[in-house]
Amino acid sequence: MLDEIRVGPIVSSDGAVNPGRADKNGNEVITPGHGSYAEGVNRKRVYFSYVAAVAATVPATTFVGNFVWNPPDSGVVLSMLKWTSQIQVGAAAAELGISLAYSAQSILPTSTPVDADASGSCFLGAGSPQSGRAKAYKDADIQVIPTPIMNLHHICAGIKTTGVELVQGDFKGLWTIPPGYLIAMAAYVNAIDAAGHTSTLTWEEIDI
């Protein structure tokens, strides 16, 4: 059976063993079955953190921004996926930017950590897991100043005028966050204006 090539779609379930597929001319067919994240989302492994209208700080131990902590006992790593970042500019002033940063964090963030405005499974609707192993915050005291590892976008002083800049991107699993670390979207060069930064981080939780 495994030497057969079947023409047309194959309907099966987890654990099934299927033959290869061919088109009507006998050519082997390999096609993506769905969107880039659908497998992980449908298996309820992909999560998001949404933070709205905060004055994002540069990396510091008293931190405001969008950050996700992977507890030491989580049993998973976080594979980073898509992100969005919006800077609201109230008036022309100094240059602004957003970077991705990380740091070690072995304990629960202190000083009454403030949860992200929304977070949970990307599998939306009733019955979905509301949160994974990681924890999403927007304001807390942390142990170590985060280290920037990637600049995401930047508004230089010469073009910083009143308005909104919205940028999005995809890490495509480039960064993996092990237990006992956090990942954050932080301001760089200068802190963002009051209520000036809105962002989303998404990640897949993968068992170790």
Given a cut of 90, is residue 84 above it in pLDDT? yes
For residues 143 and 147, what is the distance between their CA atoms, to the nearest angstrom?
12
- Residue 37 domain-assigned (yes or no): no
CATH code of 161's domain: 2.60.120
For residues 155 and 170, what is the distance between their CA atoms, to the nearest angstrom?
20
For residues 190 and 159, what is the distance between their CA atoms, to the nearest angstrom?
15
Helix (H, G, I), strand (E, B) or coil at 145: coil
Q: Which amino acid is at 47?
A: Y
My answer on whether 122 and 186 are in the same domain is yes
Q: Concatenate the DSSP letters of all residues of 11-30 into one string.
A: ---TT----EEE-TTS-B--
- Lowest-confidence range among 33-37, 75-79, 172-176? 33-37
My answer on whether 18 and 57 are in the same domain is no
Is 34 or 102 the better-scoring residue by pLDDT? 102
- Residue 183 domain-assigned (yes or no): yes
How many domains does the chain contain in total? 2
My answer on whether 24 and 97 are in the same domain is no
Residue 10 belongs to domain spanning: 1-31
- Residue 16 domain-assigned (yes or no): yes
Q: Which of 44, 205, 70, 72 is nearest to 130 (CA)?
A: 44
My answer on whether 143 and 68 are in the same domain is yes
- Residue 36 domain-assigned (yes or no): no
User: pTM (2 decimals)?
Assistant: 0.84
Q: What is the pLDDT of residues 95-151, one digit of tens each?
A: 788 999 999 999 999 878 899 999 999 999 866 567 899 999 999 999 999 999 999
My answer on whether 80 and 25 are in the same domain is no
For residues 193 and 54, what is the distance between their CA atoms, to the nearest angstrom?
8
- Residue 38 domain-assigned (yes or no): no
Helix (H, G, I), strand (E, B) or coil at 169: strand
Position 1 confidence tier, pLDDT thresholds 50, 70, 90 = very low
What H or E segment, with its residue span, contains residue 39?
helix 38-42
Cα distances (angstroms) measured from residue 4 to each of 17, 18, 28, 111: 12, 9, 11, 63
My answer on whether 144 and 87 are in the same domain is yes
Per-residue model confidence (pLDDT) at position 93? 58
Residue 106 has, within 13 A of its CA and on its CB side, a CA count of 0
- Residue 155 domain-assigned (yes or no): yes
